[in-house]
């Protein structure tokens, strides 16, 4: 479910923030 090569840095950052907020 984790993309090794995200299409764009912005999307990757957004996903990272979303995952961080979801787990914490």
Tell me the pLDDT tens digit for each residue of 1-16. Answer: 565 665 677 788 888 8
**Structure-token match 């090794």, residue found:** 4
Q: Distance (Å, rounded) from C-alpha 7 to C-alpha 5? A: 6
| All residues at 6 or more sequence positions from 12 whose CB lies less than 8 Å from its CB, including other chains | 3, 6
State residue 5's pLDDT score.
63
| All residues at 6 or more sequence positions from 15 whose CB lies less than 8 Å from its CB, including other chains | 6
Please measure the distance between the N-terminal and C-terminal CA atoms of the chain and give it in whole angstroms: 19
Say if residue 24's pLDDT is above 70: no
SS3 18: helix
State residue 21's pLDDT score.
77
Confidence band, pLDDT 50/70/90 cuts, at residue 20: confident
């Amino acid at each position: 479910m984790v993309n090794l090569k995200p299409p764009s840095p912005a999307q990757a950052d957004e996903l990272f923030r979303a995952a961080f907020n979801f787990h914490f």
